[in-house]
Amino acid sequence: MEATRSKAASPHPPELAARRKRAGSQAGRKIRKHWQFYLLVFLPLLYIVIFKYVPMFGVIIAFKEYNVVQGILGSPWAGLKYFKQLFDTPFFWQYFKNTLEISLYGMAIGFPAPIILALALNEIRNGLFKKSVQMITYAPYFISTVVIVSILIVNLSPNVGLLSNIFRSLGMEPIDFMGKAGYFKTIYVLSDVWQFTGYGAIIYIAALSGVNPDLYEAAKVDGASRFQKIVHIDLPSLVPVIVIMLILNLGQIMGLGFEKIYLMQNPLNLNTSEVISTYVYKIGLLGANFSFSAAIGLFNSVINFVLLILVNFIAKKISSNSLW
């Protein structure tokens, strides 16, 4: 009896075909009506497909004895040979540790810096001063990495550097900051904070601009101080953005930038400055060991992917904010 009712209630194949046809025509009309928006979405989507997904085919190099002459498909399979070689390499774990330490150090210092700057700028009432500070803090983002490293090397030089001249004027001996391995991580992180804090604060400033002004008025009537307004109004408004940015940053924690670290390296600080990305470059391109470097890169990407999934899961459990 119930089976007969379910069959009678379910639409016949012609009806299903008609519904699908109507849904397709509606989707077509929607696309034709708003074609400009779909075009804006199509261009970055095309970029992602071409430059992010298509190159994934090259991952199989990590499982092959890659030979340039034979090509990717013609090279013989090596299985997990290069992954075993990776885990047996004594220096790899030191480079892995350096990568993790610099990334976590950068997260601890660099992640809250844009939030603090955005909160401070939001409290400034003088429009000209606020715009000036925002422009000054945002400007370093447009300086190229090569110029940034050149500024660091010149100013931290023990002979002609600004800090060295200050030390001499105070009767102190100059310090070769770039030549001491212990200073490398701090120099890298603090220079990143100087360069990217102003740019990173933009998204938080935009989020603060959407806060309902009535909340500030109500807090003012209740006698709340500026600090109390920040704690009870601004920070709760920023929580969704902070969670999303934290997930994205933790998902890239092993993807430490190559260019700046490589340019800052020298034989004296190599013990703490060698990271996975520079190691892959030296092994893969300079050493022409493409399969081994691909195995290292794949291992690094898998760690980032697992961290992204894990952090997103934790954020979803703790709060209602997550990437998906």
Q: List pLDDT tens digits, range 105-133.
A: 999 999 999 999 999 998 888 888 888 99
Is the model's pLDDT at 186 over the cut of 60? Answer: yes
The pTM for the full model equals: 0.81
Is the model's pLDDT at 8 over the cut of 50? Answer: no
Is the model's pLDDT at 248 over the cut of 60? Answer: yes
Predicted pLDDT at 277:
87
Q: How confident is the model at residue 21 (pLDDT cuts 50, 70, 90)?
A: low
When the pLDDT of each residue in the chain is averaged and rounded to a whole number, the result is 86
Predicted pLDDT at 7:
46
Please, which residues have CB within 8 angstroms of residue 149's CB and are 6 or more apart in sequence? 260, 263, 264
Rounded to 10 deg, the angle between the 181-209 and 127-138 helix axes is 140
Please, which residues have CB within 8 angstroms of residue 60's CB and are 6 or more apart in sequence? 72
| Lowest mean pLDDT, pick from 4-8, 29-33, 233-237, 319-323 | 4-8
Predicted pLDDT at 194:
93
Residue 244 one-letter amino acid: I
Nearest CA to 278 out of 95, 88, 59 is that of 95
Token code pair at residue 236: 């709760």
Predicted pLDDT at 286:
82
Of 34 and 302, the structure prediction assigns the larger pLDDT to 302
Predicted pLDDT at 50:
92
Of 170 and 27, the structure prediction assigns the larger pLDDT to 170
Please, which residues have CB within 8 angstroms of residue 293's CB and are 6 or more apart in sequence? 280, 281, 283, 284, 285, 287
Give the mean pLDDT of 42-54. 90
Tell me the per-residue pLDDT of 281-296, one tens digit each, with 9 for 90 and over.
888 878 888 888 888 8
Is the model's pLDDT at 9 over the cut of 60? Answer: no
Please, which residues have CB within 8 angstroms of residue 226's CB and are 6 or more apart in sequence? 123
Is the model's pLDDT at 4 over the cut of 60? Answer: no
Q: How confident is the model at residue 224 (pLDDT cuts 50, 70, 90)?
A: confident
Token code pair at residue 110: 């660099």
SS3 state at 278 = helix
Predicted pLDDT at 14:
67
What number of other Cβ atoms are within 10 A of residue 71's Cβ? 9
Tell me the per-residue pLDDT of 264-281, one tens digit each, with 9 for 90 and over.
998 889 889 999 888 888
Q: How confident is the model at residue 324 (pLDDT cuts 50, 70, 90)?
A: confident
CA 296 to each of CA 85, 195, 241, 254: distance values in angstroms, whole numbers, following the listed order: 10, 29, 32, 12
